Amino acid sequence: MRYFEDIRVGDADDIGQHTFAAEEIKSFAQRFDPQPFHVDEAAAARSHFGALCASGWHTAAVWMRLMVDHSRRAIEAQRARGEPVAAFGPALGFRDLKWLKPVYVGDTIAYRSEVVETRASTSRPGSGLLTIRSTGTNQNGDLVISFVSTTLIERRPEKT
């Protein structure tokens, strides 16, 4: 992670992508969202979705996983280059979480995050507030999930 001062509005990262298989869609939904169109192909075919599709919470949880992995890779790369790694997180909140299209079996969702706002924290002088819009887009270019989150990130220490 870069320091707050090195991050600009418009900076964007490809976080990773994931193809949703029927078994994991049903497994997540059986545990957390057992609505017919998430757990049963035949019932899903009769629903307004027309086919089995992933719980929205599943598509959000997959983003979280890809983001953790992406952050780790970024940190490892910084360490390998001998660069300092800024402390960050956790997220202070999420807003405008929207599920815009269903995620069907076999869909590959590419997740991307873009910096939409940066501002210094008034209550924590050593931190900045980083606001990102995260999106997931399917293989047809349709936006399927979008949300905005704000995270604390370390400011560059002053030289002494």
Phi then psi for residue 96, to 5 deg, are: 55, 45
Cβ at position 118, least distance to a second copy in Å: 21
Q: Which of 9, 12, 14, 34 binds a second copy (CB under 8 A)?
A: 34
Q: Which of 21, 92, 120, 143 binds a second copy (CB under 8 A)?
A: 92
Q: Which of 11, 13, 33, 142 binds a second copy (CB under 8 A)?
A: 33
Applying CB under 8 A, does 76 fall inside the site for a second copy?
no
Applying CB under 8 A, does 50 fall inside the site for a second copy?
no
Q: DSSP assignment, residue 39? A: H
Residues 109, 16 contacting (CB under 8 angstroms): no
Q: Which of 6, 9, 19, 31 binds a second copy (CB under 8 A)?
A: 31
Q: Which residues contact 23 (CB under 8 A, 6 or more apart)?
A: none
Sheet (strand 127-137) strand order: 12-19, 108-120, 127-137, 143-154
Name the residue with tokens 């887009």: 137
Nearest to 103 by CA among 135, 140, 138, 57: 138
Interface region with a second copy, contact rule CB under 8 A, candidates 7-15, 49-57, 104-112, 151-159? 49-57
Cβ at position 122, least distance to a second copy in Å: 19
Residues making contact with a second copy (CB under 8 A): 31-35, 55-57, 60-62, 64-65, 68, 90-99
